[in-house]
Amino acid sequence: MNNLKLHSIQIPADAPGQHTQLQYYTLSPPKPSAKIYIQAALHADEQPGTMILHFLLQKLAASKHKPLAQFTILPMANPLGMQNIHLQHHTGRYHSASGTNYNRQWPDLHKLVTQDNHSLHKKLSRNAANNRRLILGETKKWLKAQTPASALQAHRLAVTSLAYDADIVLDLHCDNNALKHIFTFPQFMPEYQDLSDHIQAKAVLVAEMENSGTFEETWINPWLKLARQFPDKNIPPPPFSATIEWRGQGDVGETPNKKDAEQLFHFFQARKLISGTPPRPSRGAVARHFNATQVLRAPEPGLLDYRVKPGDRVKVGETVADLVALQGPDAFRGRTPLKAATSGLVLSTNYHKYVWRGASVAKIVGSKPLPDRGDFLLED
């Protein structure tokens, strides 16, 4: 049996008489070839990833196949968000005290580690291995010097300290009602097409999204920005960082999450991070730029009457849903058709049928950039 170890970090609360426990597992051979960091439920109301890691931990503990890399696994990465229960409803996407989205405003490690750090700049060389040790060493030094001023800062510092030196960082999320898909950066494709293949992703959406403040962006910033800042130095490539959206919020249970865990296990085997030879997967979705995906939004409050479901294909001008009016001269009688602005795959819809102005109705994965997408491509 592989030797999984359970760890716990205490996070002091902002109110008296309370604290929170961040629990995680590690698994490692004596001489690991790499470090893998996996977390779930950073948006605490997104539970499929937690169930997937439940089954992955079981498989890692019982498998005859040995880990070749060090694994750090956080099945419930955001215990703060698990406390956001209001009037019998769990709202785990936003920090209740500040309103901060738990997957936004993560630190830009490049800016924080390199500002006023001229010794780092002077020590960079043409030796990639030495540069990697130097950058990670300075990052570790900065992390250890921090004194968090709130529970949210303490939580982010703890998570960042666990993940900063990983070679692969996977952040498991889910959408509202959706097909399985991946968000990552164009620099990683097609090298990591095998992740899409093994988990059978229905879409791979790529964009740099600099300064969006997402968790996955944190790990590539130092490497990409230093490489641009010092093109004459041999800055190593960034760790692979991706967000996997495991369908919708209701897709929690042995079916389908046990198979999801097996697919992740096979991906790690294919990467020589776990011993053994996985079955050969069929082709998953190939990368498309995220600016070719339409985020269809409600122009006014109403009730959604969908004409399509995730997995359907639509053409430009096709009605995705009718919006039943809830106010005005046509209240409760009028219907406004909400139409596709691109031809492609319906990736997600909204489980909740009452929507307000600006609420997301659907995501449609097209092949051509959409002029109205702007610089900030995320939904919120």
Residues 106 and 236 both lie in one domain? yes
Residues 350 and 269 both lie in one domain? no
User: What gap in Å lies between CA 34 and CA 97, rounded to an integer?
Assistant: 37
Please report which helix (H) or strand (E) contains residue 40, including its range. strand 35-40
What count of other Cβ atoms lies within 10 Å of the Cβ of residue 58? 13
Residues 310 and 266 both lie in one domain? no
CATH number for 302: 2.40.50.100
Q: What is the pLDDT along the chain (380 residues), one digit of tens a residue?
A: 578 999 999 999 898 888 899 999 999 999 999 999 999 999 999 999 999 999 999 999 999 999 999 999 999 999 999 999 989 999 999 998 899 999 999 989 998 888 877 788 889 999 999 999 999 999 999 999 999 999 999 999 999 999 999 999 999 999 999 999 999 999 999 999 999 999 999 999 999 866 678 999 999 999 999 999 999 999 999 999 999 999 999 999 999 999 999 999 999 999 999 999 999 999 999 999 999 999 999 999 999 999 999 999 999 999 999 999 999 999 999 999 999 999 999 999 999 999 999 999 999 999 999 988 766 666 66
What letter does residue 344 receive in the DSSP assignment?
A: E
Residue positions counted in the chain: 380
Contact (Cβ atoms closer than 8 angstroms) between residue 313 and residue 364: no
User: What gap in Å lies between CA 261 and CA 118, rounded to an integer?
Assistant: 44
Residues 198 and 330 both lie in one domain? no
pTM for this predicted structure:
0.96
CB pairs under 8 A, 24+ apart, for 82-87? 82/41, 82/44, 83/20, 84/44, 84/45
What letter does residue 83 receive in the DSSP assignment?
A: G
Q: How many domains does the structure of the chain reveal?
A: 2
Q: How far is CA 76 from each of CA 111, 138, 213, 245, rounded to the nearest angstrom?
A: 28, 28, 20, 15
DSSP bridge pairs for 288: 205
Q: Give the range of the structural domain holding residue 352, as residue numbers without chain letter.
A: 291-365
Q: Which residue has the tokens 């042995």?
A: 254
CATH number for 261: 3.40.630.10
Looking only at the bridges linking them, the beta strands covering 313-314 and 319-325 are unpaired
Question: Has residue 371 been placed in a domain?
Answer: no
Rg of the chain, C-alpha, whole Å: 22
Residue 260's contacts (CB-CB under 8 Å, 6 or more residues apart) are 48, 52, 55, 199, 246
Instruction: Residue 281: name the closest of 291, 271, 289 by CA.
Output: 271
Contact (Cβ atoms closer than 8 angstroms) between residue 228 and residue 170: no
Answer left, alpha or beta for residue 276, where phi above 0 means left and psi between -120 and 50 means alpha: left
Domain boundary among the residues 266, 285, 304 is at 285
